[in-house]
């Protein structure tokens, strides 16, 4: 590798422990299953929707129209079942990509009825990245199966053998996951300043109008707007502060990829941004506010190592004899 | 996997995530999934917000907003879009109105049990008046559909297109 490319190589392809990617896979899988199952069979509301409401987007533009009810049910079950297998790391070379594709298709289908849920973009891209990379080499069923049954065809069938050695193939997907978090913020920031308001967006007028519009919509369909909107609507400074902070965080998001500590700071600030949106607008970006979107910024192998060493220290610990009560000391 | 393939895939992901910055690559409807340019905060809002919603009218002429879960399926935001789409045509507006009136006819307690009529309306709201002055009634409503609730006192039914304005002091129709 050329001397000039070496720093890039060390940054984009760090050799890291497979545990980090595996923890990210498990947490993303748990989030996905919770999100899919929290309203029963999650595609159910679309079984009997009128074809008039069909508004295909992305992948579903390839369809001639809405799917048959049985196909939608099948898609719902297939997504959840492969989601379980994804989370436990079973039959990885087949299930990893399959869950990514099922999720992409079913979430796109769900978004093809007039309302686009931007809250789901990063989640789907993360599952695709994890599904197509070596994220089941640890904390997975596959390596256990390969150890237990030594049949050579298991590898050919798509069961991964796993590894415990640090390698760049575990570091590179983490960088991709971080990139998928950071770049959409940059795109959103450009959309704001390239809109009719230009850099004047930072004065907060657009933001106030948007929050006001959202509040009235909520009041007319859900019965109430967020109480805080009434309190801050007439003041100028909260909107200026929020707009300015939004632009700084969004444009600055790629810096989070440069260093671990900048990444931590970014996660803390951007979580604040999403909680702010939740409180002011009542819009909870589930993948972000649960923290699932940002688990790729944490060094899980270090955290787990610390937990393990603390546990071992407590296991070794014996009460000092001098602490034991002396006979007759209490009398 | 070879590093050169990984570099290629990284470049592809970067390109894909940034592609919505170019107007021509934003999909047919100006936005797509899962690659979006997040346009929601960048567009300027009109002076008056136009929102399609459902109200129930009480015998004394006052009105109550009916939540979308009584007549539309799915998450609230999606229901909102669907209601707006239904309101574009008379037939679908009437269907939605009928669905809401049937739900209201089964109510036996609270203000919903006293409603005599259900209306699907397109409200024109001023954000400043709504949040600044606490004026929760719209500047005007345009009726998309109106239906009687079975078993309740009959009220005068406005036709589709009727414009209703309100007295903001009393909360009654002018």
ipTM of the complex, rounded to two decimals: 0.89
Is position B8 within any domain?
A: yes
If asked whether residues B65 and B29 sit together in one domain, one would say no
If asked whether residues B117 and B31 sit together in one domain, one would say no
Q: Quick check: A212 and B127 CB within 8 A?
A: yes
Under-50 pLDDT residues of chain B: none
Q: How far is B146 from chain A (nearest CA, A)?
A: 17
Cα B88 to Cα A106: distance, rounded to the nearest angstrom: 28
Full-model pTM:
0.90
Each of the 331 residues of chain A gets a pLDDT tens digit; together they read 577 889 999 999 999 999 999 999 999 999 999 999 987 667 776 666 777 888 899 999 999 999 998 898 899 999 999 999 999 999 999 999 999 999 999 999 989 988 888 889 999 999 999 999 999 999 999 999 999 998 888 989 999 998 999 999 999 999 999 999 999 999 999 999 998 899 999 999 999 999 999 999 999 988 888 889 999 999 999 999 999 999 999 999 999 999 999 999 999 999 999 999 999 998 888 999 999 999 999 999 999 989 989 988 888 877 665 555 656 555 4
Q: Which of A122, A290, A315, A217 is nearest to B130 (CA)?
A: A217
If asked whether residues B68 and B126 sit together in one domain, one would say yes
Residues pairing with A42 in the sheet: none
- Rounded (5°) CA angle A292-A296-A299: 120
Is position B68 within any domain?
A: yes
Residues pairing with B94 in the sheet: none
Number of A–B residue contacts, CB under 8 Å: 180
pLDDT at B80: 84
pLDDT at A296: 97
**Residue B154: domain span:** 48-164
If one counts the domains in chain B, the total is 2
Q: A267: which 2 tokens?
A: 């996660």
Cα B18 to Cα B171: distance, rounded to the nearest angstrom: 50
CB-based contact, B4 to chain A, within 8 Å: no
Q: Quick check: A187 and B38 CB within 8 A?
A: yes
Of the candidates A45, A122, A187, the beta carbon closest to that of B21 is on: A187
Cα A4 to Cα A256: distance, rounded to the nearest angstrom: 22
- DSSP summary character for residue B60: T
If asked whether residues B90 and B29 sit together in one domain, one would say no
Partners of A13 on chain B (C-beta within 8 Å) are: 3, 6
Q: Quick check: B37 and A188 CB within 8 A?
A: yes
Q: Quick check: B127 and A216 CB within 8 A?
A: yes
If asked whether residues B57 and B76 sit together in one domain, one would say yes
If asked whether residues B117 and B96 sit together in one domain, one would say yes
pLDDT at A270: 96
pLDDT at B167: 86
Cα A259 to Cα A283: distance, rounded to the nearest angstrom: 30
Q: How far is A151 from chain B (nearest CA, A)?
A: 24
If asked whether residues B65 and B118 sit together in one domain, one would say yes
Cα A15 to Cα B40: distance, rounded to the nearest angstrom: 39
The domain locations on chain A are 12-166
Q: How far is A140 from chain B (nearest CA, A)?
A: 20
Q: Which of B25, B43, B18 is nearest to A186 (CA)?
A: B18
User: Which residue does chain B place closest to A9, by CA atoms?
Assistant: B3
Q: Which of A19, A32, A13, A22 is nearest to A176 (CA)?
A: A13
Is position B173 within any domain?
A: no
Structure-derived torsion over alpha carbons of residues B150, B155, B156, B158, reported in degrees to the nearest 10: -60
Is position B170 within any domain?
A: no
Is position B106 within any domain?
A: yes
pLDDT at A202: 95
pLDDT at A331: 42
Distances (CA, A) of B98 to A240, B64, B72, B145, B147: 45, 17, 12, 9, 6
């Amino acid at each position: 590798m050329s001397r000039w490319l070496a720093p890039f190589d060390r940054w984009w392809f760090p050799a890291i422990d497979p545990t980090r990617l595996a923890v990210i896979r498990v947490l993303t899988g748990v989030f996905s299953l919770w999100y899919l199952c929290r309203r029963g069979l999650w595609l159910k509301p679309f079984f009997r929707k009128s074809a008039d409401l069909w508004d295909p987007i992305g992948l579903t533009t390839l369809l001639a129209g809405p799917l048959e009810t049985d196909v939608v049910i099948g898609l719902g079950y297939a997504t959840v079942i492969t989601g379980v297998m994804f989370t436990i790391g079973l039959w990885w070379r087949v299930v990893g990509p399959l869950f990514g594709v099922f999720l992409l298709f079913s979430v796109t289908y769900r978004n093809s009825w007039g309302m686009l849920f931007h809250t789901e973009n990063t989640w789907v891209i993360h599952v695709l990245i994890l599904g197509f990379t070596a994220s089941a080499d640890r904390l997975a069923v596959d390596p256990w199966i390969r150890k237990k049954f030594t049949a050579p065809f298991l590898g050919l069938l798509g069961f991964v053998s796993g590894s415990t050695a640090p390698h760049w193939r575990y570091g590179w997907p983490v960088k991709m996951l971080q990139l998928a978090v950071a770049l959409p913020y940059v795109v959103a920031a450009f959309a704001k300043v390239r809109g009719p308001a230009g850099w004047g967006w930072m004065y907060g007028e657009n933001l106030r109008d948007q929050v006001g519009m959202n509040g009235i919509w909520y009041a007319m369909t859900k019965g109430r707007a967020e109480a805080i909107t009434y309190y801050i609507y007439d003041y100028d400074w909260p909107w200026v502060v929020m707009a300015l902070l939004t632009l700084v965080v969004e444009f600055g998001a790629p810096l989070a990829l440069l260093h671990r500590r900048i990444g931590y700071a970014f996660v803390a600030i951007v979580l604040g941004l999403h909680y702010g949106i939740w409180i002011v607008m009542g819009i909870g970006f589930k993948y972000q506010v649960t923290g699932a979107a940002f688990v790729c910024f944490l060094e899980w192998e270090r955290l787990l190592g610390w937990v393990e060493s603390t546990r071992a220290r407590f296991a070794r610990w014996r009460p000092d004899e001098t602490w034991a009560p002396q006979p007759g000391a209490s009398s | 996997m070879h590093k050169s393939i990984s570099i290629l895939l990284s470049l592809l992901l970067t390109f894909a995530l940034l592609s919505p910055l170019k107007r021509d690559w934003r999909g047919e409807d100006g936005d797509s999934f899962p690659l979006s340019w997040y346009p929601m905060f960048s567009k300027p809002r009109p002076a008056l917000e136009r929102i399609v919603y459902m109200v129930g009218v009480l015998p004394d002429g006052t009105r109550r907003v009916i939540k979308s879960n009584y007549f539309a399926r799915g998450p609230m935001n999606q229901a909102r879009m669907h209601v707006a789409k239904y309101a574009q045509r008379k037939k679908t507006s009437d269907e939605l109105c009928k669905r809401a009136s049937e739900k209201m006819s089964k109510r036996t307690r609270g203000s919903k049990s006293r409603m005599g009529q259900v209306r699907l309306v397109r409200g024109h709201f001023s954000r400043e008046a709504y949040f600044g002055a606490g004026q929760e009634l719209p500047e005007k409503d345009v009726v998309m559909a109106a239906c009687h609730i079975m078993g309740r006192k009959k009220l005068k039914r406005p036709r589709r297109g009727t414009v209703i304005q309100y007295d903001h002091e009393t909360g009654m129709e002018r």
